[in-house]
Structure 1
Amino acid sequence: MNPKEFLTPYIIANVFAVLMILIGWKKPRTGKIIWGFIFLAAGLFNLFHGITKPDAYLAYGEQAVFPFLRDFINGTFSHMTTPIVALIAVGQMMIGFFLLYRSNRLTRPGIVGGILFLIGIAPLGIGSAFPSSLLMAASLILIYIHLPSRE
């Protein structure tokens, strides 16, 4: 895959991540709602494409930073792409629902799930618009810190 294909989405993702850091710091409730809808949309997108275009996910193997991750994507993942992507998509949708939940009882675990997910995709390198996923995780950390303890 040509690196130029990633340039525009890469820039957009990183600019968005910086904006979300600012929102997470200044308007944590707004940030949690935005992230809730993003995780829901990402989950639906991945579920649909995991079923209809599973081979598209194999391109992430080329960009993976670690050889063991590349080997996993080109090996086990390539033979079970749809079920694995579907599981990831369900996780993303759960995070989204938890972030949109009115009470912090589920919101806080949703934020932690979002942080772990975003840190987890960072080793996909340019495929995850690195370092945007780490910046996005930072925005969720700010939301976690600045959300009122009781809602």
Structure 2
Amino acid sequence: MQIPINDNTFWIAYGASNVGGAILAYTGLKAPRLARYLFAALFAWACWFNLDTVGETPDVYLDYSYLAYFKFYADFINGFFADHVVAIITTVAICQGLMSLGFLVGGRWMTYAAIGAIAFFVSVAPLGIGSAFPSTVLMAVGAYGVLRSGSASRSAE
């Protein structure tokens, strides 16, 4: 099965992701405390979604290979990743859950969560429309805004 990019549902989700990315970029730069909670909600949902999806239909993650901008991304997805989908996605989901908690707790944990979020968003951007590009770049900007704001130091350690 391939991701149906000619399906209206795909493009609605793509548009919603980019609107969400723009909101996260804006709030990260202008209202970082609010953005922290938005990122916490996003990563909590992503954790749940990925754990549920990898448990039910792990092969769906292989569909992203044909959307990748770079051949080495497609080669990785069709090679090592294909042989270890459950382990890799489960690890990603656990990290997403930890990032959600980090954004909620604040302090140094929020700093770690923001750095992890930036790394995650930048690393999936080359999946192109499969990662709803450019939403991931916008989200990375928002996470950077939260990190830069110092709101981490105003929360529990």
TM-score relative to the length of structure 2:
0.89
Counterpart of 1:72, as a letter, is F
For residues 127 and 149 of structure 1, the distance between their equivalents in structure 2, rounded to whole angstroms, comes to 31
Question: Does 2:123 match 1:132?
Answer: no
Question: Does 2:93 match 1:66?
Answer: no
Please say if residues 29 and 147 of structure 1, whose CA atoms lie closer than 8 Å, have aligned partners that are also in contact.
no
Name the structure 1 match of 2:6: 4
When structure 1 is superposed on structure 2, of 125-134 and 19-28 the one drifting more is 19-28
Counterpart of 1:56, as a letter, is V
The size of the alignment, in residue pairs, is 150
Q: Indicate which of 124, 142, 145 corresponds to 1:142.
A: 145
- 1:65-124 superposed Cα distances (whole Å, 9 cap, x missing partner): 1111101111221122111110111111111111111x4121111111111100011011
- 1:12-23 → structure 2 map (5 Å cutoff): 12-23=16-27
Percent identical: 33
CA gap of 1:30–1:69, structure 2 versus 1, over 3 A, is same
CA gap of 1:107–1:149, structure 2 versus 1, over 3 A, is closer
For residues 89 and 27 of structure 1, the distance between their equivalents in structure 2, rounded to whole angstroms, comes to 26
Question: Does 2:121 match 1:118?
Answer: yes
Q: How far did 1:149 drift? A: 5.8
After TM superposition, what 4+ stretches of structure 1 lie above 4 angstroms from structure 2? Answer: none
Stretches of structure 1 that go unaligned for 5 or more consecutive residues are: none
Please say if residues 108 and 152 of structure 2, whose CA atoms lie closer than 8 Å, have aligned partners that are also in contact.
no
TM-score relative to the length of structure 1:
0.93
Name the structure 1 match of 2:40: 36
